[in-house]
Amino acid sequence: MRLLALLVIPLVAAVAAYLHHGAGFRNAWLLAAAAAHLTLVGSLWVVPGPPVFGDWLALDALGLIILTVVTILFAVVALYAVGYLRTEAPRGGRAFVTCLLAFLTFTSLVTLSHHLALLWVGMEATTLTLAPLVFHRHDRRSLEAVWKYLVLSSVGIALALLGTFFLAAAQVDGRPLLIGDLVMSAGTMQPSLLRAAFVFLLVGFGTKMGLAPLHAWKPDTYGEAPSLVSALMAGALTSCAFLGLARIAQVMSAAGQAAFMQPLLLAFGLFSLVVAAAFMIGQTDLKRLLAYSSVEHMGLLVLGLGLGGSGTYGTVLHVLNNGLTKGLMFLTVGNVVLVTGTAHVPSMRGVLRRAPLSGALLLAGLFAVTGSPPFGPFVSEFTILGAAIGQGHPWLGAVLVVLLAVIFIGMARPILDVLYGEPGAVGSGPPAGGLRLAGPLVLVLLVLVLGVYLPSHLRVALARAAVSLGGVVP
Amino acid sequence: MMDFSGLLLLLVVFTDFWVLGTTRMSSVIRAAAIQGAILAALPLALHPGLSLHMVGLAIGTFAIKALLLPAFLHRAIREASVRREVEPVIGFTASLCIGAVAVALSFAVAQRLPLPEAQTALLVPVALATVIVGLIVLTTRSKALTQVVGYLILENGIYVFGLTQAERVPFLVEIGVLLDVFVGVFIMGIVVFHINREFDSLSSAKLTELKD
């Protein structure tokens, strides 16, 4: 029942928010749905929920971890949105709140779906619910961004549907397309069709994750969308897309096809890191810089998955760390941009003096997002790096260290430029209020805690998720 | 019945080439609409038992792919008053040739795929050819609206492939897929409308402000 409530609550709130014309009512629906969703997910950590609809909707460890990322991010973004819609001229605030809530419904659907075709339906729906939000500003640049986003994501996700049908064709035993049955009967699957399915699903969900070279839409979309929408995309949407890829990886490793899958994942991962590093150097737009950072972290996720073993554990932990850190970065940059009036690095100076709290958050976020101690991403990146070196890929480990160093410099230079220096004359918006600061503060605390201490519940879930993907616990 | 479904599949390929070879936008949309109608008839021809599942799928497909979306796209070009695809990146003859190669390739690939049922002999190559034609239209045409039709053709190809698994994929999911495609094309259409108003042109080639 609670699993169903995770879908129904935001959906009802979305409809209700659309019917209300008063901004106060809409905000109340948004916050109430976010709080209820967060509470429900919290209760699922304590007492697991039974599957519904004949195993179509169920919650395993991997799904729960990603659902947790989604719900925490959404709660934070909901608070932020209330403050944001107050600051920025509310253009169609009704559609804005409704799309946000619909997004929560469909991301929850993706994390709960154990039927892979249903997962596809949810994934495509998340793409569509965010399109109006990307186009929020209604100018030429956001128009171009939303067009690229729609066309590339739709084509990618269409190929994922083809992959899903190939998977159905490959399956011989068990109920069609249910993940449990697929894993159980993986040994009897038709190998060549399974491989074809994997390639299509990798390209499809890889496009949604924004793996290079399928990332063309990403900098444009993240750069033009309102920051809170970019936060949801980089933190929640990409995690859901990763879940789609992880599901097929589960089947592949159960079918003994790891040797076919791993080189492909390693290649995509490494290439994503190279592209991210190359395009970060000299990047002058803070939000586009973060978009390439997202390409980097998606690369790390598939790299860990491709390494297998303890790399898989690192990947599962990194989903959590990356989701929360990306939320922190985009929301903080959003606050900074509202102060300076631009995301153009050379025109932003002295943020630390003009908005000390946002500046401090940006500094902390810089260290978190580049995987520096004591923040969470350090632990997960280090696990992935350790897996590369410890499992017979020392050259890969060496390349990884160099790339991460280049990326650190590429991120640190523009962000430090923005933080220090004399405040320029351009833009003089007020510093962020409580609602817009609460979220990033919560997120920075969570990322910090994840860096030093993992609660036992979480450790058990991470271990289970890693094992279900064919990995081991380091 | 076998022969009838084979005829329908050949008609799907025919409409693929119609889309590739025509310059008038209203004609492209009409071809997509006819393809949608053929696709609606396919599940009935392939599974003659008249099950509720197949009838529902046929009705849903016909409503969305043959009626609603084409009507919506026709309205979009009327409002934009654009009639022709003028400057394709690759000429029409060339894209027809690529289409022919794609069909040949699809048949070659499909023969090597170890798919069990005999009824799928034509289904898989036609599906793959349609997917490729959709991709060609998407990437080589400069009008945003024609690209939307390309996406629709691509989806149609995947739908045909899905018919090989129609008995294994539940009806609810199929309707979900159809609805997603419908809303997707609908939102794309709205974006095309905004592109037209903003740039006074339906050409997506003008979208060049964002780059590194």
Q: What is the full per-residue pLDDT of chain A (474 aa) written as tens digits?
A: 899 999 999 999 999 999 987 888 888 999 999 999 999 999 999 998 899 888 899 999 999 999 999 999 999 999 999 888 877 655 557 889 999 999 999 999 999 999 999 999 999 999 999 999 998 888 888 889 999 999 999 999 999 999 999 999 999 888 889 999 999 999 899 999 999 999 999 999 999 999 989 999 999 999 999 999 999 999 999 999 999 999 999 999 999 999 999 999 999 999 999 999 999 998 999 999 999 999 999 999 999 999 999 999 999 999 999 999 999 999 999 999 888 888 888 888 888 888 889 999 999 999 999 999 899 999 999 999 999 999 888 999 999 999 999 999 999 999 999 998 777 655 566 666 778 899 999 999 999 999 999 999 999 999 999 999 998 998
The answer to whether A190 contacts chain B (CB < 8 Å) is yes
> What's CA A444's distance to the chain center, in Å?
16
The answer to whether B180 contacts chain A (CB < 8 Å) is yes
What local confidence, expressed as pLDDT, does residue A111 receive?
97
Q: Is residue B35 scored above 90 in pLDDT?
A: yes
The answer to whether A135 contacts chain B (CB < 8 Å) is yes
Q: Is residue B36 scored above 90 in pLDDT?
A: yes
What local confidence, expressed as pLDDT, does residue A89 receive?
56
Q: Between B116 and A394, where is the model more confident?
A: A394
Cα distance from A103 to chain B (closest Cα, Å)?
14
ipTM: 0.92
CA dihedral A195, A197, A201, A202 (to 10 degrees): 10
Q: Please check whether residue A24 is in contact with residue A86, taking contact to mean a CB–CB distance below 8 angstroms.
A: no
Q: Is residue B82 scored above 80 in pLDDT?
A: no
The answer to whether B115 contacts chain A (CB < 8 Å) is yes
CA pseudo-torsion sign A317, A318, A320, A321: positive
**Per-residue confidence at B1, pLDDT binned at 50, 70, 90?**
very low
Cα separation, B19 vs A117, in Å, equals: 29
Residue pLDDT, tens place only, B160-180: 998 888 878 888 788 888 888
* CB nearest A143 (choices: B115, B135, B191): B191
For residue B155, the SS3 value is helix
What local confidence, expressed as pLDDT, does residue A92 receive?
58
State which amino acid sits at residue A85: L
Cα separation, B5 vs B39, in Å, equals: 10
What residues of A are in contact with residue B199 (Cβ under 8 Å)? 140
Q: What is the CA radius of gyration of chain A?
A: 21
Query: How far from A214 is each of A163, A203, A247, A295, A421, CA to CA, in Å?
Result: 17, 8, 20, 10, 37
Category of A174 on φ-ψ map: left (φ > 0), alpha (ψ -120 to 50) or beta: left
The answer to whether A136 contacts chain B (CB < 8 Å) is no
CA pseudo-torsion sign A72, A74, A77, A81: negative
Check B113 against A132: CB less than 8 A apart. Answer: no
* CB nearest A144 (choices: B161, B183, B209): B209
Residue pLDDT, tens place only, B118-160: 556 788 899 999 999 999 998 888 888 889 999 999 999 999 9
What residues of B are in contact with residue A216 (Cβ under 8 Å)? none
CB pairs under 8 A between A and B: 111
Assess whether the previous peptide bond of A219 is cis (omega < 30° from 0): no
The answer to whether B158 contacts chain A (CB < 8 Å) is yes
- Closest to A287 measured CA to CA, from A204, A229, A238: A229
* CB nearest B177 (choices: A121, A196, A224): A121
Structure tokens, B37: 């109608």
The answer to whether B151 contacts chain A (CB < 8 Å) is yes
The answer to whether B189 contacts chain A (CB < 8 Å) is no
The DSSP result for A188-245, as a single string, is GS-HHHHHHHHHHHHHHHHHHHT-TTS-THHHHHHHHS-HHHHHHIIIIIHHHHHHHH
Check A146 against B191: CB less than 8 A apart. Answer: yes
Q: Taking a contact as any Cβ pair under 8 Å apart, which residues of chain B between 63 and 82 contact chain A?
A: none
